[in-house]
Amino acid sequence: MLRALSRALAAQQSLLALPQLVQQQAAPAAALAAAALAAASSSWRQRLPSAWRPYSAAAEKSGETISVTFKDEKDGSEKVVQAPLGKSLLEVAHENGVELEGACEGSLACSTCHVIVEDQEFYDKLPEADDDENDMLDLAFGLTDTSRLGCQIIASKDLDGLVVRIPSATRNMAVDGFRPKPH
């Protein structure tokens, strides 16, 4: 009876997303092996396979940089840094001591590097977020209309002067599901 009621479905996975998926699946084995072998002193970030870095090495070699401002809502601090063309904001943050989390190391499997682009004009200049990024943004804390993942914003010339906010998790906000006790 259930069968009679039911109806079959089609795959609707975008073909465009495939190369990325393949890349993501190939990487973890290498990362885990690297993690196991790495000495305690080396930073895990430096061990990221280069395949994960979505930037163009050629652009980086040009040595050109743009100015990017990180505003941390947690403590109100502001940091202006020079971002080499081609690098992601997540990388730029980490290279400059800006506290932006990156739990999945830029592999589009978490939303911890969520940033809010302050200026709509800059937001509109960014290439549109794809399904994979939107899937993660859906789970981001304090999502806004100009939210993006830091690992997906790549420094380019037209982004010079970009200002992003790192949303504060706790500032006057309760964590999901938390309800204060009545007393």
Partner 1 sequence: MLPRLGGALLRPLAARSFAAAAAAASGGPHFCIVGSGPAGFYTADKLLKKFGDGARVDIVEALPTPFGLVRSGVAPDHADTKNVINQFTQLARDPRLAFLGNVRVGRDVSLPELRAHYNAVVLCYGAESDRRLGVPGEDLPGVFSAREFVWWYNGHPAYRDLPLDLSRTRRVAIAGLGNVAVDCARVLLKQADDLAGTDICSHAVEQLRNSAVQEVHLLGRRGPVQAAFTPKELRELLSLEGVQVHMNPEDFQLSSACEAEMKATRMKKRVYEILQKAMAGPPRQGAKSLFIHFLRTPAEVVEVEGRVGQMRIEKTRLEPNEKGGDQKARGTGEYETIPADLVLKSIGFKSVGIPGVAFDKRRGVISNKLGQVYAEGGESFDPGLYVCGWLKRGPSGIIGTNLVDAEQTVDTMTQTQDSFRRVEAATPGAAGLRQLLESRGVQVVSFLGWERVDAEEVRRGAALGKPRDKLTDVQEMLQLAAAA
Residues that bind partner 1 (CB under 8 A): 1-3, 5-13, 24-25, 27-29, 31-33, 35-36, 40, 43-44, 74-75, 94, 97, 99, 101-105, 107-112, 131-132, 134-136, 138-141, 143, 168-170, 174-178, 180-181, 183
> Whole-number minimum distance, CB 175 to partner 1, in Å?
5
Q: Quick one: 157 or 181, whose CB is closer to partner 1?
A: 181
Beta carbon of residue 9, minimum distance to partner 1 (angstroms, whole number): 4
Q: How far is the CB of 17 from partner 1 (least distance, A)?
A: 9
Q: How far is the CB of 63 from partner 1 (least distance, A)?
A: 23
Nearer to partner 1, 145 or 157 (CB): 145
Are 115 and 97 in contact, with CB atoms under 8 Å apart? no
> Which residue, 89 or 159, has its beta carbon nearer to partner 1?
89
CA 117 → CA 68, 90, 99, 101, 149, distances in Å?
Answer: 11, 14, 16, 16, 10
Task: Kindly tell me the burial class for residue 174, based on how many C-beta atoms sit within 10 Å of its own C-beta (0-12, 13-18, 19 or more).
Answer: exposed
Q: How far is the CB of 179 from partner 1 (least distance, A)?
A: 8
Question: Which residue has tokens 């190939």?
Answer: 26
Of 94 and 148, the one with the shorter C-beta distance to partner 1 is 94
Token pair of 141, please?
């804390």
The residue (of 62 and 77) whose beta carbon lies closer to partner 1 is 77
Three-state SS annotation for 88-138: EHHHHHHHCCCCCCCCCCCCCCCCCCEEEECCHHHHHHCCCCCHHHHHHHC
